[in-house]
A and B are shown apart, each in its own frame.
Chain A
Amino acid sequence: MDPLGLVPVETILDAASLVDSVVSMANEPSWANAGFLAWDVAGTLIPYVPGAWVAKGGKYASKLKKAEEVGEASADSVKVVGKSEKTAGKGAKEAEQEAGQQAEKKTEQASEGAVKDTAETGVDKVKNEGEGAVQNSSADKNNGVIAVDPQGNAMPLKPGQKIEGRPDGKMWQVKDKDGNPTGDRYDGLGHPKQSDPKAQAPHAHRVGSDGQPIKDEVGNPHLPANPPKEKD
């Protein structure tokens, strides 16, 4: 194909990865994305240093597939699938993808013979009745967990937060350590009296770091979510 190495494949990948990192950072500011961006800038400027695409490739390849598997694996209540990075600002679907990535990490741990128990992951128990809150542990004070409902909707929970709602998981919300709603919520039956079709349909609400609801591209706070599963 290119025995003389005339095609600057790495440089092209570096540039593409840099663009991806800039977009990711703009859409979803986080320390992880900031790290990728810094890596890509260095990779683009310094010869022979590869960009963050070497780390991102595997991540993107497995993300959607794993998210699907987590949704399918969910049982009758909201489940915790793994630790989360900060994912504020994401929609439920994106959080689900993130959950898939976390589940992948957990699988990797299992294959290495290092399955973490609930105490080590910082999770005591999260039940749909909302009795269990995400607990802090000395090793995991900044990270929370991702809870996945029977529909496959995933929600990142910070330490101290818990989920309250219907036992069948058709409606639930996130509460903080003081019992106040964070604004993160799943309305699986929609709001049937609303005229807005997005509000009538099953939807989710996510709250931004400013405490205000995250809105979609047309300014609607009713974000898409998986509908409740019908009983067999």
Chain B
Amino acid sequence: MECFICSKAIGCGYLCEQHARELKDMLENKIGVIETPDWRHHCLICGEHKNRIIIEYPSAGYFCDEDICEEWRKWLEHKDKTP
């Protein structure tokens, strides 16, 4: 697996920790939000755009809120498990 933004190899998921955090921050601060997403803005990871908040990351493309939150959750869980 590799990060969809920087291609860094990761054990699971589709975003590295740094980019999962960055996208989560963009989502929370409403940076790069596509106001009226249509099929052209479909998420790179899940391919969906309907009923999603879409964020544009300039050097990669579009990511939806559900995937961003899921990827970030994975990293949080990973941290919890790390002794």
Chain A interface residues (CB < 8 Å from chain B):
129-130, 164-168, 170-173, 181-183, 185, 187, 189, 191-194, 199, 207, 213, 221
Contact = CB atoms under 8 A, between A and B. Distances in A.
Contacts, number: 49
Closest 5 CB pairs between A and B? A191-B47, A193-B46, A183-B40, A181-B40, A194-B47
A171 B2 CA distance: 13
A166 B40 contact: no
- Residues of B in contact with A, size category: 10 to 19
B43 interface: yes
B72 interface: no
B41 interface: yes
Given A168-B7, A171-B4, A191 B44 contact: yes
Interface string B27-67: 00000000000011111111100000000001111000001
B7 A166 contact: yes
Contacts of B67: 193
B32 to A, nearest CB: 12
B2, B41, B43, B59 interface centre (most CB from chain A within 10 Å): B59
A193 B44 contact: no
A106 to B, nearest CB: 30
Contact of A166 (B46, B47, B59): B59
A164 B56 CA distance: 11
Nearest to A196: B47
Given A191-B45, A191-B46, A164 B40 contact: no
A192 B14 contact: yes
A177 B44 CA distance: 23
A221 to B, nearest CB: 8
Contacts of A170: 7
A171 B40 contact: no
14 contacts: A129-B59, A164-B59, A165-B61, A166-B5, A168-B7, A172-B61, A183-B39, A183-B40, A187-B44, A191-B42, A191-B46, A194-B46, A213-B39, A221-B39
Contacts of A181: 40-41
